[in-house]
Amino acid sequence: MYQLQVPILDRSTFTGVVVVEYAIDDLLRSSVPPDVSRRHLMSIVTDQEVALASTDQPSAAPTSRRASLVHDAVLTPAMNGLVLRGEGWRTSIGLIGNTLSWMVVALSILTLWMLLGAWRHMRRRAQIQNALLQETQFRRAMENSMLTGMRALDLDGRITYVNAAFCQMSGFSESELIGRMPPYPYWPPDRVEENQRLLQQEMQGRNPAGGIEVQLMRKDGSIFDARMYVSPLIGPKGQQTGWMTSMTNITEAKRIRDQLAASHERFTTVLEGLEASVSVLSVHQSELLFANRFYRLWFGNDATGHAQLIGSDPEGQFDELALDEADDMAGLSTHDLTEVKGDLREAYVESLGKWFEVRSRYLQWTDGRLAQMLIATDITARRRAEEQAAHQAEKAAVTSRLMTMGEMASSVAHELNQPLTAITNYCNGMLSRVSSDAMAKEDLVAALTKTARQAERAGQIIHRIRAFVKKSEPQRQPAQAKSIVEDAVELAGIELRRRNVAIRTYVAQRLPTLMVDPILIEQVVLNLLKNAAEAIDTAQMPASRRQIELRVVPRQAEKEGPVIEFSVVDSGPGLKDEVIARLYEAFFSTKAEGLGIGLSLCRSIVESHRGRMRAQNLYNGNSIVGCMFSFTLPVDPSDLPTTPTPP
Ligand code: ADP
């Protein structure tokens, strides 16, 4: 029995107690729901562990009871140590529940393990994906940076891939190309058949190792040349899935090649068409490396002609030693040789009866060998013309001399008059003194000596004039500038005195000997002196300006080397511009009775001696105070042309 007593208070006055009594057994049985009591044993226990009541028979309970499944609750508010105890039955349901929970645990572990596996798998996958992405991007970058166009076809010829370079080359975008079947849009319409045939060949795997050259069309219709290389595309399982084609634009290369070929053709055409023989000979092997049409025509196909032209061997037997001897450049290194300028000479080839102007120079042949190139021009006709001209000039010189003397005849007569008068005077004087016996022997001898000297002088004048006028071949001989000047001044003296013009001469000391024709050079000097005197006289210059200076000095000329310069300076009116322009023109004269061949002749004489002639005005401020005519003559005799005479 369980009794609950509750005091009743009425305005703080204890009025009684409400007592409730529960039969403990019934309380347990009726208030524990059957659902709970079926699975649990509910009991009320004293503090001495004596069960006062329980939902089950006490006999069955103790064996199945387990301490771990007990829960106590103090029965309040009675503080009498009663406890409501619930105990779980250990039944077959419990066993099943246990297995289930174990299974849950096992499954959880399995799930965890699988999750871990999946996580690791995903991590690996992500890593691989990353690597793949990197690889793909690397390849893409490589493809995009490549100038070679790439195109993949499947086995039916459908385009499955094109790279950026291919698109750029063809002008079509990727989307316009992928999936296309032949004929492709970049095939020129007029070459579809040819391209079809090439594609067939390509798909059959019959591709030449050096690639195929094709013409393709850009989207804008322009054509370009390309070279294609094809290789089979192999799938992951080793089977062929298509073809990969790489393509390079060779338009530029082809253009350069064509240009090279054209330029080579032009080069050979020019060389072949040249009216000169061109030959290139390897210096060390004496092998003819190149010969043009004229060379072959004149000398055949061997090196004989080359040797003849350098003049190394008249028999035509070429040998290197002879080449060395024939050549001023023997002993120079290859580099120096090819640097030096070509050398020019004239050669007579007896077998052909022709004169050649031969220009030679060393060059490095295409294979690096040192070679000598000769360009020989046939100058036979020019030589003949030159000879004829020289002949003519010589005739003209004689004529001119005659004319000069003709002009000077009156002066000559005047000049001769002087010694003749002197002779007459001496003779008359002697006659009168001898006839009056008033002459000592010594006086007579002295007078006769003087007479003889005067006669000699007259004879000299005549002799010089004869020598000057006499037609003679130009003959080079050692000559002294000093004696040329003296003779010329003496001849001109007559004219100068007549025109009342003074002359001053200056000839430098110790001048080298000249190799010239002295009569011709005298004629040049005489002409210049005569012109100067005429200019001064005609312009009626005052006495202070009636003089000429003739100077002969050595000089170092830029091109010709050491020379002797003759200059005639006058203080006349100088040269007008229009006169300067036509100075050396034959028959140009400003004088009423002038012939105008003097200066042209002078120049040809000077130039035939390898000299140079110049004329210039002399100035004082802006006003002309006269003019200077000068000419040079080379002093080195070896410099003079030693022209061999043809037979
Ligand atoms: P010519 O004396 O017969 O006229 P040249 O050929 O000797 O023929 O001279 C041509 C021209 O050059 C002369 O007519 C003259 O006008 C001019 N000339 C030549 N020398 C001089 C000079 N020293 N001063 C001025 N003029 C000159």
Average pLDDT, the chain: 83
Q: Which atom of ligand 1 is nearest to the CA of 527?
A: 7
pLDDT tens readout for residues 483-508: 999 988 887 887 888 889 999 999 99
In this structure, the residue with its CA closest to atom 18 of ligand 1 is: 531
Q: Which of 501, 599, 606, 614 to mutate to test the pocket of ligand 1 (most atoms within 8 A of CB)?
A: 599
Instruction: State whether CATH 3.30.450.20 applies to domain 143-255.
Output: yes
Question: Would you say residue 178 has pLDDT above 70?
Answer: yes
Does the pLDDT at position 644 exceed 50? no
pLDDT for the residue numbered 407? 63
Which are the contacts of 607, defined by CB distance < 8 A and separation ≥ 6? 613
pLDDT at 89: 65
Please report the pLDDT score of residue 342 as a whole number. Answer: 64
Q: Which helix (H) or strand (E) holds 114?
A: helix 92-145
Q: What is d(CA 564, CA 635) in angstroms, rounded to the nearest whole number? A: 7
Whether residue 340 is predicted with pLDDT greater than 70 in this model: the reply is no
- Bridge-partner residues for 282, per DSSP? 371
User: Which of the 8 DSSP states describes residue 511?
Assistant: P
> Whose Cα sits closest to atom 26 in ligand 1?
575
Name the pTM for this structure. 0.39
Q: Which residues sit with their C-beta closer than 6 Å to ligand 1?
A: 531-532, 535, 570, 572, 575, 579, 583, 588-591, 594-596, 598-599, 627
| More confident position, 397 or 622 | 622
pLDDT 10s digits, 514-531? 998 887 888 889 889 989
Q: How many CA atoms lie within 13 A of 313 on its CB side?
A: 15
56: closest CA among 74, 76, 34?
A: 34
CA of 94 to the centre of ligand 1 (A): 154
pLDDT by residue (tens digit) across 364-417? 888 888 888 889 988 888 888 888 888 887 777 777 777 766 666 655 666 677
Q: What is the DSSP letter of 437?
A: T
Phi-psi region at 559: left, alpha or beta (left = phi > 0; alpha = psi -120 to 50) = alpha
Q: How close is the Cα of 504 to the center of ligand 1, in Å? A: 20
Q: What atom in ligand 1 is closest to the CA of residue 594?
A: 3
Q: What is the pLDDT of residues 261-278, one digit of tens each?
A: 998 888 888 888 888 888
Q: Does residue 628 register a pLDDT over 90? A: yes
Residue ranges with strand state E in 365-475 = 370-378
Question: Residue range 64-87: average pLDDT?
Answer: 72
Sign of CA dihedral 7, 9, 13, 19: negative
CA atoms within 13 A on the CB side of 152: 13
Q: Which ligand 1 atom is at minimum distance from the Cα of 595?
A: 3
Is 408 exposed, middle or buried, given 0-12, 13-18 or 19+ CB atoms closer than 10 A? buried
**How large is the angle between the packed helices 380-435 and 441-469, nearest 10 degrees?**
160
Atom of ligand 1 nearest to the CA of 588: 10
How far is ligand 1, taken at its centre, from the CA of residue 242, in Å? Answer: 96
**Which architecture, in CATH terms, is 274-378?**
2-Layer Sandwich (3.30)
pLDDT in tens, 11-59: 889 999 999 888 888 878 888 888 888 778 888 888 888 888 887 755 4
Least Cα distance to 605 among 423, 398, 445, 409 occurs for 398
Instruction: Please give the distance, rounded to the nearest whole angstrom, from the Cα atom of residue 611 to the centre of ligand 1.
Output: 20
Best residue for ligand 1 mutational test, from 531, 577, 582, 624 (most atoms within 8 Å of Cβ): 531
Looking at ligand 1, which atom is closest to the CA of residue 531? 20
pLDDT of the residue at 65: 47
User: Across residues 531-558, what is the average pLDDT?
Assistant: 92
d(CA 578, ligand 1 centre) in Å: 12
Provide the phi-psi class of 366: left if phi over 0, else alpha when psi is between -120 and 50, else beta.
alpha
pLDDT at 158: 92
**How remote is the CA of residue 406 from the centroid of ligand 1, in Å?**
18
Which CATH superfamily does the domain covering 476-647 fall into? Histidine kinase-like ATPase, C-terminal domain (3.30.565.10)
- Identify the pLDDT of residue 17: 92
Q: What CA–CA distance (Å, rounded) separates 295 from 305? A: 8
| Ligand 1 atom with least separation from CA of 597 | 6
Q: What percent of the chain has pLDDT over 90?
A: 23
